[in-house]
Amino acid sequence: MPVLLLAQGDTIAKCALRKAIEARYGTRPPSLDSLKINFNGRTLAKVGPVKTWVPVEVTAYFRFPMAMRWDFTVKPLKLPVQRGLEAFDGATYHSARGGKPPTVITDPAQVASMRRRMWAIAAILLTPLSELFVKLSAIGENSLWATNTKLDDAAEIHLRPDNSLDYVRVECLNPDDNRWQNYIIRLSEELVCINDLLLPAKMSAFWDDAPNFEFEPGLVESNPNIPDSVFTLAE
């Protein structure tokens, strides 16, 4: 039986997404209403006067289609650990850096940029793109737009000739220099199965052509019960 798509959009885009889902999961893809996933890897960070690769751990939370959170811990060699988070509860964006208390961010460009980066991560899973709140549009033989109609955020999805997912691209504001750039997440061809969920073994993110991070997926919890407080940061 072919994969059921509830997403809106044109026939070519739906066909491309269906083939990508089947290339990843076969004809029985997982249904994901929520997700908690850990990543381990490294990120380019400024240490003193230079940028260098430093270890980083990330925990991402999703409750589709609206709520997202991204917690990270950067561990520079022989320097204090740096922690931060970004969270969106469907209405409000919170951000924290350097162990400081979270603050509400109201700048529309920053809010949209955070959501788009998180939507790019969600797109890597593929099955969230098949839901009713998504509109699909073909932009080439092996590429399509996937728009979260609840948030009006779009991700550009590019497939390989074998229909596997190659990379995801969104346009957003680089928080390091406040420039609009392409944020690109490239995926390895190799897959790993973690708690029955197939994921790319490695993910590499770039601002245009400049590397940003390299991650490998760790612990995965599919459809956990994530309380509102995780996204609202309520005590």
The average pLDDT across 149-155 equals 94
Task: Give the residue from 149, 152, 140, 65 showing the smallest Cα distance to 108.
Answer: 152
> The domain 8-224: what is its CATH number?
2.50.20.10
234: its two tokens: 């309520």
For the chain, what are the domain ranges? 8-224
Question: pLDDT, tens digit, for every residue of 158-192?
Answer: 999 999 999 999 999 998 788 999 999 999 999 99
**pLDDT in the model for residue 2:** 66
C-alpha distances in angstroms, 221 versus 32, 97, 155, 180?
A: 10, 26, 24, 33
What is the pTM for the complete model shown?
0.92
What is the Cα–Cα distance from 58 to 72, expressed in whole angstroms? 4
pLDDT at res. 145? 97
